[in-house]
Structure 1
Amino acid sequence: MQDLRQKVAYITGGSKGIGFGVAQKLIASGMKVAISGRTLKTVARAADYLGDANTVLALKSDVANIDDEKTAVNQIIDKWGQLDVVLANAGVGHFAPIDQMSDAHWHQMIDTNLTGVYNTLKASVEALKESKGYYITLASLAGTNFFASGAGYNATKFGVVGFTQAAMLDLRKYDIKVSTIMPGSVATYFNDNEPSEKDAWKIQPEDIGDLVLDLLKMHPRTLPSKIEVRPTRPDKK
Structure 2
Amino acid sequence: MPRYDLAGRTVLLTGSTGGLGAALARALRERGANLALLDLDGDLARQQAAGLGPASAARGWAADVRDLAGLQSAADAAAEHFGRIDVAVANAGVGSMAPLERIDPAAWERIIDINLNGVWRTFRATLPHVKHTKGYLLAVSSMAAFVHSPLNGPYVAGKAGVWALCDATRLEVRHYGVGVGSAHPTFFKTPMMDDVHSDPAGTTLWGGNKSGLWKMIPLETVVDSVVTGIERRSPLIVPTRTNAIAARIPGLVRPLVDRIGFRGTTIPDAIAQASETGWISRR
TM-score normalised by the chain length of structure 1: 0.88
Distance (whole Å) between structure 2 residues aligned to residue 216 and residue 145 of structure 1? 24
Percent of aligned positions that are identical: 28
Question: 2: CA distance between counterparts of 1:8 and 1:24?
Answer: 14
Counterpart of 2:91 in structure 1 is 89
Contact 1:203-1:231 at 8 Å conserved across structures: no
Which runs of no fewer than 5 residues in structure 1 stay unpaired?
none
1:90 match: secondary structure: coil
Match of 1:208 in 2: 222
Provide the rounded CA distance (Å) in 2 between the counterparts of 1:107 and 1:53: 36
The structure number with the bigger radius of gyration is: 2
Tell me, yes or no, if the aligned pair for 1:15 and 1:47 is still in contact at 8 Å.
no
Contact preservation (8 Å) 2:142, 2:185:
yes
Structure 2: gaps (5+ residues):
198-207, 244-283
CA distance in 2, matches of 1:88, 1:119: 9
Single out whichever of 169-178 and 40-49 deviates more from structure 2.
40-49
2:70 corresponds to: 68
1:24 Cα offset (Å): 0.6
Aligned partner of 2:239 in structure 1 is 229
Structure 1 distance, partners of 2:82, 2:26, is 19
Mean Cα deviation higher: 78-87 or 39-48? 39-48
Q: How many residues align?
A: 227
Question: What secondary structure is seen at the aligned counterpart in 2 of 1:183?
Answer: coil
Q: Which amino acid aligns with 1:175?
A: G
Q: Let me know the Cα RMSD of the aligned residues.
A: 2.3
How far the C-alpha of 1:192 sits from its partner, in A, is 4.2
Deviates more, 1:206-215 or 1:33-42: 206-215
1:199 and 1:51 map into 2 onto residues whose CA distance is 36
Map 1:7-86 to 2 at 5 A: 7-86=9-88
* CA apart distance, 1:191: 4.8
1:229/1:5 CA distance change after superposition, 3 Å: closer
Taking the aligned partners of 2:116 and 2:141, their CA distance within structure 1 comes to 10
Amino acid at match of 2:224: D
Choose which of 188, 191, 198 in structure 2 pairs with 1:189: 191
